[in-house]
Structure 1
Amino acid sequence: MRRRPDAGAAVAAEEGETVILDAAAGEGDAEGEEEGECGFCLFMKGGGCREEFVGWEKCVEDAEKAGDDVVERCYEVTAALHKCMEAHAEYYHPILSAERAMAADLEAAKADQAAEASSDAAASSSQQQQPPPTEEEAAGEKKQAEEEAVVPEKQDVEA
């Protein structure tokens, strides 16, 4: 008989506690689960979206074997799985929360990159607006710097 994680495990997961799922729960199952299946897979199959998850797993496996783009090939089954998870949000809350946090982090990183790029572009354009000094200007600046620099030996001689 297959054991499912109890409701307490889902509540504990929502509260941020560590949840340990029994990996042996599905062993020898008539539905053909592999021995030692990952905890994530067991969790996903333990909720109301078992069929959608199994379909998603198969699609990913088939796409990888065929060398296809997994995202493109499995877009529809991924969308169906996500829709199911949203419908069963009380169980899949830990996964959905992690997904939202990752999306927020990605958006923040993109915003940081955009801000850096715009500040780099602004700095670059301000440097480009001031043309480099001509040879005459450079020579004049050098002469002025030499005149302003007081050599200690000259001070002693002048005094």
Structure 2
Amino acid sequence: MSTHANQEPLNSHQPEAKPQDLPPDQPGSVSPGAEAEAEAEAGEEEEGECGFCLFMKGGGCRDEFVGWENCVEEAESNNEDLLEKCAQVTAALKRCMEAHSDYYEPIIRAEKLAEEQAIVELEKEKQNQQQPPPQDQNLLWSLIMWEIANTCG
């Protein structure tokens, strides 16, 4: 059996060290404890937050949404009338979303569709019961927002 002079034994090269192979005390490495701590902190911020809420808080109406969310939670915990208690913050959120429609367009579109469907349902109910549908569009809008937010949690 012949060997070429330029061939080296297979085990003559040691693999190069990779960043993940560095011991935790070397620069450029992250200790497992610090990594786990960072993940836990990130999880705390997102814990309980649904995609809808994260989306709403990601745009220009974060403060208005948080105010609306707090109002809804307070109304629910105190058994207060949500529509009456939160009418002003709902209107402010709606105005803000319309002012930032470039970001909130998917939500606005979904709300308009839900509003149209709700009006159709109310008209059917009106014909069955001969009761007029509510005229305040902010009330309907608030109900739609509340329904969307409650599907998250």
For 1:1-159, what aligned pairs fall within 5 Å after superposition?
28=41, 33-114=45-126
Identity of aligned residues (%): 53
Number of residue pairs aligned between Structure 1 and Structure 2: 90
Give, as a single letter, the amino acid of the residue that structure 1 aligns with 2:67: G
- Residues 36 and 63 of structure 1, relative CA distance in 2, 3 Å threshold: closer
Residue identity opposite 1:55 in structure 2: G
TM-score normalized with structure 2 length: 0.51
Q: Report which of the two has the higher share of helix.
A: 1
Q: 1:34 to 1:66 in 2, by over 3 A?
A: farther
Corresponding position of 1:146: none
Give the deviation of 1:116 after TM superposition: 6.0
| Greater C-alpha radius of gyration | 1
Which of 1 and 2 has higher RCO (CA within 8 Å, sep 6+)?
2
Q: 1:115 and 1:73, CA in 2 relative to 1: closer, same or farther beyond 3 A? A: closer
The structure-2 alpha-carbon separation of the partners of 1:64 and 1:115, relative to structure 1 and needing over 3 Å to count, comes to closer
In 1, the alpha carbon distance for the partners of 2:129 and 2:110 equals: 28
| Whole-angstrom distance in 1 between the partners of 2:75 and 2:53 | 18
Q: CA deviation at 1:66?
A: 1.2
Q: Cα distance, 1:107 vs. partner?
A: 2.1
TM-score by length of 1: 0.50
Uncovered stretches (5+) of structure 2, i.e. residues with no partner: 1-39, 131-153
RMSD: 2.3
